[in-house]
């Protein structure tokens, strides 16, 4: 089973509607008060976001939610 590492909580299809032709989007970071341009693959995602809590990542069980989605 292929492990998914970078999991989006905002679908990339939604982000593409706001992106330029080269799939870049402007982002404002509220904590640092900085704005920057980045690719849609790098934004609105976290590492292992949908992994089941308390389950060892080495087991295939941790990503059952990701695979179901």
Summarize pLDDT for 4-62 with one digit per residue, the tens: 677 777 888 898 999 999 999 999 999 999 999 999 888 887 776 666 666 655 556 65
Euclidean distance between CA atoms 5 and 32, whole angstroms: 25
Count other Cβ atoms within 10 Å, centred on residue 40: 21
Whole-model pTM?
0.56
């Amino acid at each position: 089973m292929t492990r998914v590492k970078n999991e989006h909580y905002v679908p990339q299809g939604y982000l593409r509607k706001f992106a330029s032709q080269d799939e870049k989007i402007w982002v404002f970071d509220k904590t640092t008060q900085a704005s920057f341009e980045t690719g849609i693959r790098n934004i609105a995602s976290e590492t292992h976001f949908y992994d089941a809590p308390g389950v060892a990542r080495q087991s295939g069980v941790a990503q059952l939610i990701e695979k179901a989605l």
